[in-house]
Structure 1
Amino acid sequence: MKTITGLAEARNYVAQFKRGAYHRIVALTGAGISTESGIPDFRSPGGIWSKRQPVQYQDFVRSEESRLEDWDRRFEMQDFFQKAEPNAAHLALTSLATNGYMRCLVTQNVDGLHQKAGFPDDRLIEIHGNSTFATCLSCGARAELEDQRQTVETGRSPNCVKCGGLLKAAVISFGQQMPEAALQNAAAAAQECDLFLVLGSSLVVHPAAQLPALAAEAGAELVILNGEETPLDSYASTVIRTPLAQTFAEFHEE
């Protein structure tokens, strides 16, 4: 395993990705790609989850008090998400996809920054959902968060205008079933890629943490770009420790 800690060497290394060295790239992104866009890592000490415990899915379904607590948190997070802009790492992944080198991007993030960066929807798998809009738990209809703010401020949790079901941010909550089809698609992509990139994930949250191992065991090269050690570093051919946005800052330059 090679470890890169210098920014110049890291930039030189990632430049090969845009030159067609690989044609079936799959990437996994975690909180570390978005912290450089100003979005806090909610799991870290001092983050929102250390101050306000996440609402369990079953509590959301059965308790109005829990629903209001969850909606209040969603509006707090929405303020971060609306202000944040994609950084150079988000844009580099979009470039790899639009140029035909990246087959699939799997993200643990719920902030919508990959969409803001223009990443193709048909190659994006959000395995933890998306916190920038809501869906109905009964009929699946989409609803915008901001449209629910007035209702929440009156002390009521919002309901679907189509069927009357409970509205909830489209993020996967603790205790809520993971999207099985999305997980299967992510696993299949990992096993078919020639390069698997990990960007800003600690690789401790499953099932996403299993994907790099699946790729490596199927013969893909694994490159991990993360500021701290991960449990899968030993699977990687190269580990890069430099900040992601700075690492990809010159990616579009020749």
Structure 2
Amino acid sequence: MKSRIEALADFLARNAPLAVLSGAGVSTASGIPDYRDRNGDWKHAQPIQFPDFVNNADSRKRYWARSYVGWQRFSRANPNAAHFALADFEASGKVATLITQNVDRLHSAAGSQRVIDLHGDLGAVRCLGCDASNTRGDYQQALKDANPDWHSDVFRYKPDGDAELADNSHAEFRVPGCRICGGVVKPDVVMFGENVPKKRVLDASSAVDSAKALLVVGSSMMLFSGFRFARQAAAQRKPIAIVNQGRTRADDVAELKIEADCGDTLSAAAALLAS
């Protein structure tokens, strides 16, 4: 009987070119926490909702205070073995397109060229008024300049550059407006309660259409924004393989499921294919 690694290597070899859907589990080895436990349930309180960010000034202040602290750690994250293995699979022609639900840009940093950042890029900000964009590094400096004496204790770091701070520590935190029009600045990511831009969805759907199979890595697919692509592949009777530590919404339609570390598993499959 084939080992799980041999089965994955065989899946990759016979189904190229394939599409990949990646989630938070790919980046945990880079020091970025994930959202869900092995059963697919929330590990933390749910993140801020988009309508609350837009309509509530205190919620925005709380968001940016936490993000100001969390970004200092998040921005130093580097790609890990899973990112590099997927980039190698693309370079060797096994992966055509990588659709990621992550906002850390670590796939691109590892060398993947054909990446669809489904939920955006935390390394950029955008004005909700005039649509002007800026780098997060520049906005981080603006936050620092606006809060030279502000400090808060950190209880723990959370997914996507968030940090849990002492209660009400954001009360005195100042949030700069857009450098062009003074409007509300938002991270250039799809927040919970916000729709993924239609073009990104269409591009990702087209990638699944043109692929021979779908490989899911590090995602429980509990959110429909990612699960829709597994459902699409299943409807087209395309093979699906999943590498994820815990339950996923697509377990019942996958021909191969491996519950193991993403980096170790992908690296071992890559080594087997290269031998």
TM-score grouping bracket, smaller chain normalisation: 0.7 to 0.9
- Offset at residue 65 of structure 1 (A): 1.7
Partner of 1:115: 108
Alignment of 1:118-197 (within 5 A): 118-120=111-113, 123-137=114-128, 138-145=130-137, 146-151=140-145, 153=147, 155-197=173-215
- Offset at residue 17 of structure 1 (A): 6.2
- Stretch moving more, 133-142 or 23-32: 133-142
- Stretch moving more, 74-83 or 124-133: 74-83
- Offset at residue 43 of structure 1 (A): 4.4
Alignment of 1:66-81 (within 5 A): 66-81=59-74
Residue-by-residue CA offset, 1:88-115 (whole Å, 9 max, x unaligned) = 1111111122233322111111222112
Q: Is the 8 A contact 2:8 2:256 kept in 1?
A: no
- Stretch moving more, 192-201 or 228-237: 228-237
Partner of 1:84: 77
Corresponding residue to 1:216 among 234, 237, 260:
234
Partner of 1:106: 99
CA–CA distance in structure 2, aligned partners of residues 59 and 231 of structure 1: 28
* Shift in CA distance, 64/200, structure 1 to aligned 2, threshold 3 Å: same
Residue-by-residue CA offset, 1:197-232 (whole Å, 9 max, x unaligned) = 000111211121121121122132100111112221
Partner of 2:21: 28
Q: Is the 8 A contact 2:49 2:193 kept in 1?
A: yes
Partner of 2:167: none
CA–CA distance in structure 2, aligned partners of residues 232 and 42 of structure 1: 18
Q: Is the 8 A contact 2:103 2:119 kept in 1?
A: yes
Letter in 2 for 1:130: D
- Offset at residue 157 of structure 1 (A): 1.5
CA–CA distance in structure 2, aligned partners of residues 169 and 160 of structure 1: 12
Q: Is the 8 A contact 1:68 1:152 kept in 2?
A: no
Unaligned runs of 5+ in 2: 149-172
CA–CA distance in structure 1, aligned partners of residues 92 and 33 of structure 2: 31
Q: Is the 8 A contact 2:85 2:263 kept in 1?
A: no
CA–CA distance in structure 1, aligned partners of residues 260 and 226 of structure 2: 22
Which SS does the other structure have where 1:36 is aligned? Answer: helix
CA–CA distance in structure 2, aligned partners of residues 77 and 106 of structure 1: 25
Residue-by-residue CA offset, 1:123-163 (whole Å, 9 max, x unaligned) = 21122222232222232422324223325526322222233
Residue-by-residue CA offset, 1:53-112 (whole Å, 9 max, x unaligned) = 522222322333222211122234323423322111111111122233322111111222
- Stretch moving more, 189-198 or 142-151: 142-151
TM-score, length-scaled by structure 2? 0.78
